[in-house]
Amino acid sequence: MPHRSVPHPAAPDEPAGVQPADLRPFMAAFPTGVSVVTTLDSDSVPHGLTCTSLASVALEPATLVVCIRAASPTLAVLLAEGHFALNLLHERARATSDLFASGAPDRFDRVEWRLPLGAGGPHLTADAHAVADCAVVRTVGFGDHTAVFAEVRRVTVRDDRQPLLYGLRRYAPWSAAAAAPQPAAQADPHRDLPATLRPAAPEGGTRVVR
């Protein structure tokens, strides 16, 4: 049977004065860690930018995705060279986050960095609590950004540093967030009943049988 395209119903007219959705305040309400993407061009000149748009994609093979502004000079180098380092900033590295977000041409002169053998890009040794060395495997352009999918070749983690957080257009240290008291666990009123007599958990919930 031949495939037929079924037209979608027309959307109702929008009320006058309705503006296109601005995603920025929505995403500002979703706190994240802060990273700096770094790479080297063919002349071994370092490039980098601050990035909060990243996510893990798969554990096998180890893959993540970062979303970078399509017009970024760092993105152009990253795509040309095919590799980069993703530096997760620790909670005392706010100044470095601001520096790499500013686009200052001397930003690599103002931070400590090194290039270990086999690194995907400069490691910000004084400012990162974890670094992933990555190889680009796929890119998808969408609107004003490009999603870069990359296979993680090596991970370096420092256990003596805590992450820097960013949300609602301000920074926060992970140590302060982790120090907040946790809500007390509520006692299960049915815990002494046999499992077969306990009420069922709500749809989508989990019931623990001890």
Contact 82, 42 (CB under 8 A): no
Task: Check residue 58 and give its pLDDT.
Answer: 93
- The 10s digit of each residue's pLDDT in 166-204 is 988 888 888 877 777 766 656 566 666 555 555 654 444
Task: Check residue 139 and give its pLDDT.
Answer: 96
Task: Check residue 66 and give its pLDDT.
Answer: 96
Model's pTM, two decimal places? Answer: 0.75
Task: Check residue 179 and give its pLDDT.
Answer: 74
User: Which amino acid, one-letter code, is at 96?
Assistant: T
Q: How many CB atoms lie within 10 A of CB 88?
A: 22
Q: Pick out the chain residues at pLDDT < 50.
A: 1-12, 201-210
Contact 20, 27 (CB under 8 A): no
CA distance 131 to 195: 46
Q: Name the residue with tokens 């007599």.
A: 197
CA distance 45 to 163: 28
User: Which amino acid, one-letter code, is at 183?
Assistant: P
